[in-house]
Amino acid sequence: MVWILIISATLFVAYANGANDNFKGVATLFGSGTTDYRKALAWATVTTLAGSLAAFFLAAKLIKTFSGKGLVPDAFVSNPVFIASVILGAGLTIFVAAKTGIPISTTHGLTGALVGSGLVAVGTGLGFSDLGKSFFVPLLASPLIAVALTVMVYPLFQLVRRFTGVKKNTCLCVGERVIPVGNVAVGENGILSVSQLKSLDVILDEKSVCQVQAVEVYSGSLAGIEIQGILDFLHFLSAGAVSFARGLNDTPKIVALSVAAGMLGLKWNIALVAIAIALGGIVSARKVAETMSLRITGMNHGQGFTANLITAVLVIFASRWGLPVSTTHVACGALFGIGIVNGKARWKTISGILLAWFLTLPMAALLAGVFYFILQKAGL
């Protein structure tokens, strides 16, 4: 009975993780207009799945970190009630956030659930020093580092663009039509007014005006190849790297507790979790996708590429060294940085996300503690 509960709860966490996190790596592809939602989601699914499977070889340290060893006495690390309560508390927190379109951290949810179950199980015997060193420091530092790096790196990319003679222009997208209109200031939502269209001598019927959107593109070539094509290729590559890094970083965290309980073994756990993550993204990622892509900041192709590059580097580095950083925090931090440098940050959305991050840990802790109490009283 208990092993069925643990496996089911683990797959539930994995599904919720996919729903909340899968699109984060490709959010800039959709948000910058580089591709549409379906193609971005397909690329996220394939690359995240690859990262999840690679976790078996490259991210063993995170399995040890999230087993709870050092946080609670060793006797609890393999205790089925402790493990089930942690998984259920984290899973429910992440799933509710995904359904409401709020991008929260699986890492944060699991950390809070470990704390909540640990406090109910051992009280003051909880390993607070290990908690701060192994969990809180990386979680708090990573988004700040992402913001700082983005604010520093993007201006450097701008200098390189100007030095190489690459120009930034505006095009109007009307269905499949792309109309160049030169270097025109684009509004926050990439929409031009009817009067602006008339001033540009762009004549559209009334129905088309409602569908028009302005996007910034780059003109110029490198070695005979259009720079926009090169940038789009690199943008897809960086988005794939972020998704791969997310799968690499998150999968070990989810399987850690079921592995500690001796359920199914490492290979089966990773395979099932990888499939559940993919399904969660395919079925339930839309709301978080819209928040990440469209509501944090406006961005063009180059800005989206910069945010993805920073996110990929930080998350892959953290995974390699067993640091439990949050892909959500890093990706959002990079987007916050882009919003700062381009002046298009939507602070109402950003403040709502920050509030959700603040509440994730106590909510997961509370739920996990309640689940531990219930399961223990039930005699499971």
Domain ranges (residues) in the chain: 2-160+229-377, 167-219
What pLDDT does residue 209 have? 43
What pLDDT does residue 286 have? 92
Query: Length of the chain in residues, anyone?
Result: 380
Rounded Cα distance between 200 and 8, Å, is 59
What pLDDT does residue 368 have? 92
CB atoms within 10 A of CB 243: 32
92 class by beta-carbon count within 10 Å (0-12 exposed, 13-18 middle, 19+ buried)? buried
208 class by beta-carbon count within 10 Å (0-12 exposed, 13-18 middle, 19+ buried)? middle
What pLDDT does residue 66 have? 52
What pLDDT does residue 11 have? 87
What pLDDT does residue 365 have? 92
What pLDDT does residue 4 have? 76
**pLDDT tens sequence for the chain (380 residues):** 666 777 888 888 899 999 999 998 899 999 888 888 999 999 999 999 998 888 777 655 555 555 555 555 555 666 778 888 888 999 999 999 999 999 998 878 888 888 888 888 777 665 555 555 555 666 678 889 999 999 999 999 888 888 877 777 666 555 444 445 555 555 554 455 555 555 554 445 444 444 445 566 777 766 667 888 888 899 999 999 889 888 887 888 777 766 655 566 667 778 888 899 999 999 999 999 999 998 999 888 889 999 989 988 887 777 667 666 778 889 999 999 999 998 989 999 999 999 998 899 899 999 999 999 998 888 66
Listed in sequence order, the DSSP H helices in the chain are 2-21, 27-31, 37-58, 60-65, 74-77, 80-99, 106-122, 128-131, 137-163, 194-199, 206-209, 227-260, 266-284, 286-290, 301-320, 327-342, 347-377
What pLDDT does residue 288 have? 92
Closest C-alpha to 72, from 62, 80, 81, 82: 82
What pLDDT does residue 207 have? 47
What pLDDT does residue 42 have? 96
